[in-house]
Amino acid sequence: MTNLQPAHHAAGVNNKKWAIGFSTVVGVIFLLNVFVLPNSNTQVQRFFNAWFSLNSLAEIMIWILMALGLNIIVGYAGLLDLGYVAFWALGGYVAGWLMSPFLSQFQVNFFGNARVGFDQGIHFHVFLVLILGGVFTAIWGVIIGGPTLRLKSDYLALVTLGFGEIIPQFMLNGSNIFGLNVTNGAQGIGGLDQPNIFGYVMGTFALPQKFLMVSLMAGAMIFFSIRLRDGRLGRAWLAIREDELAASMMGVPLWRTKFSSYAIGAVGGGIGGVGFAILVGGVYADRFNFVISIIILAMVVLGGMGNVWGVVVGATLLAWVNSVGLVQVGQLINNTFDTKFNFPSYQFLLFGLLLVLMMLFRREGFLPEARMRMVMNEEKLEDLEKVTDDTKIGSH
């Protein structure tokens, strides 16, 4: 047999390699933007700004964070969630409510960093907001998942689809809920506090520092994703994904286990929402639409469902293509061949094409989880069963 080494050992070595790679990339980007780029000539600066602007790289980290959250629901436990954007929105509004002058009925400042002259509203410390954002979305995960997870997973997909529409619509129209302005409607909540981390205030131009912060958040999510997968709960999720009935026979509490995946997965969306709100300095309802849910799902599927590093790669690629890749590559093609295609307007055409091609030629994703590769090649599994011959077993 080829697999003589215990599987988890090999995976551990692999994780280490990937973790070093991830940290190196983050470190290099940070140092490049702090020390090298400000002192280099305008041509170099222009190149990096066009192809790898720090803003887009920071957003990629948010996408990684959320894709990993959804991966816990879809990849680990095998539940289909079509409305993940709702958790992003909820997390964003938690940041809007708890670190801006918006809720001016209150005047609370808990280690927050209110701008001078704007000390009405609630101003919590950014760490506290991150925690509360996670808790708040987990509670919503419980509210949505609780009743629906008792049904077949198809129903969960439908309910989440609805939920993903309702929450953003509520945010968009929530400027007058029984006379109370909850979300400030389409205008959104702007002017978020600048995070104050151990005395360092992240102002408008502290983009490298913000990038570092969201990268640390994404790194933490990667760490927890791996720990969860390799732990007892992760094993139970995999068992449910493989065979629900058999899992139940082993004593895996079905409802509770699915439920925990849904609530824990929601936290990724919530924290991502807080991070994104801090990055753009506000939260705006029209950003949260159904397409976002599908893009995050595509990141998980294209990257390799269930495989943490696969999802990281999938999220990075898709997020980059969506933010700058398509525009830049399009310009390059137009300039080279003297054409006038408006590439960004074909975004979803190309996106769909990519999905179709992936499903045709590499269904298991860029970097598939070893188990998934087998799921996607079911007929080969039966061939394998014949590798060993039963007639030789009897005489042990």
Partner 1 sequence: MARLKTPVILKVSDITVGYGAVTAVKGISFEVREGEIVSLIGSNGAGKSTTLRTISGLMHPKTGSIEFRGEKIDGMPGHEIVAKGICHSPEGRRIFPRMTVDENLDLGAYLRKDSAAVKESRERVLELFPRLRERITQKAGTMSGGEQQMLAVGRALMGEPKLLIMDEPSMGLAPVLVDLIFETIETIRKSGVTILLVEQNALAALRIADYAYVLESGHLKLEGDGSKLANDPAIAKAYLGG
C-beta closer to partner 1: residue 116 or 245 = 245
Q: Contact, 273 vs 137, CB < 8 A? A: yes
**Dihedrals φ, ψ of 342, to 5°?**
-95, 85
Residue-level length of the chain: 396
In one-letter notation, the amino acid at residue 143 is I
Q: Pairing mode, if any, of strands 121-124 and 99-100?
A: antiparallel
Kindly state the smallest distance separating residue 153's Cβ from partner 1, in Å: 17
In one-letter notation, the amino acid at residue 282 is G
Q: Is 379 in the site for partner 1 (CB under 8 A)?
A: no
Cα torsion 316, 318, 321, 322: sign? negative
Kindly state the smallest distance separating residue 242's Cβ from partner 1, in Å: 4
The only residue of 45, 109, 181, 248 in contact with partner 1, by rule CB under 8 A? 248
Pick the stretch among 214-222, 271-279, 330-338, 388-396 that binds partner 1 (CB under 8 A).
388-396
Q: Is 394 in the site for partner 1 (CB under 8 A)?
A: yes
The only residue of 68, 94, 207, 239 in contact with partner 1, by rule CB under 8 A? 239
Kindly state the smallest distance separating residue 389's Cβ from partner 1, in Å: 7
- In the chain, % helix, strand, coil (3-state, to 5) comes to 70, 5, 25
Q: Is 250 in the site for partner 1 (CB under 8 A)?
A: yes
Pick the stretch among 33-41, 108-116, 127-135, 387-395 that binds partner 1 (CB under 8 A).
387-395
Q: Contact, 87 vs 270, CB < 8 A? A: yes
Of residues 118, 163, 173, the one with CA closest to residue 266: 163
Kindly state the smallest distance separating residue 312's Cβ from partner 1, in Å: 22
Coil/strand/helix, residue 283: strand
Pick the stretch among 21-29, 116-124, 176-184, 380-388 that binds partner 1 (CB under 8 A).
380-388
In one-letter notation, the amino acid at residue 290 is F
Coil/strand/helix, residue 243: coil
The only residue of 178, 204, 245, 340 in contact with partner 1, by rule CB under 8 A? 245
Q: What is the DSSP letter of 390?
A: G
The only residue of 218, 247, 271, 295 in contact with partner 1, by rule CB under 8 A? 247
Query: Taking CA 366 as the corner, what is the angle to CA 362 and CA 369, rounded to the nearest 5 degrees?
Result: 95
Q: Contact, 158 vs 141, CB < 8 A? A: no
Kindly state the smallest distance separating residue 244's Cβ from partner 1, in Å: 10
Q: Is 386 in the site for partner 1 (CB under 8 A)?
A: yes
Q: Contact, 215 vs 124, CB < 8 A? A: no
Structure tokens at 367: 């970097």
Considering only residues 209 to 238 of the shown chain, the ones binding partner 1 according to CB under 8 A are 232, 235-236, 238
Kindly state the smallest distance separating residue 7's Cβ from partner 1, in Å: 6
Q: Is 389 in the site for partner 1 (CB under 8 A)?
A: yes
Of residues 274, 350, 358, the one with CA closest to residue 97: 274
Considering only residues 317 to 376 of the shown chain, the ones binding partner 1 according to CB under 8 A are 371, 374-375
Considering only residues 255 to 294 of the shown chain, the ones binding partner 1 according to CB under 8 A are 255
Distance CA 215, CA 279 (A): 12
Kindly state the smallest distance separating residue 371's Cβ from partner 1, in Å: 4
C-beta closer to partner 1: residue 6 or 199 = 6
The only residue of 20, 180, 243, 362 in contact with partner 1, by rule CB under 8 A? 243
Considering only residues 3 to 32 of the shown chain, the ones binding partner 1 according to CB under 8 A are 3-7
DSSP string computed for 288-327: --HHHHHHHHHHHHHH-TT-HHHHHHHHHHHHHIIIIIHH
C-beta closer to partner 1: residue 338 or 379 = 379
Pick the stretch among 80-88, 137-145, 351-359, 378-386 that binds partner 1 (CB under 8 A).
378-386
Kindly state the smallest distance separating residue 261's Cβ from partner 1, in Å: 16
Distance CA 325, CA 337 (A): 18
Which residue ranges make up the site for partner 1 (CB under 8 A)? 1, 3-7, 232, 235-236, 238-239, 242-243, 245-255, 371, 374-375, 381, 384-391, 393-396
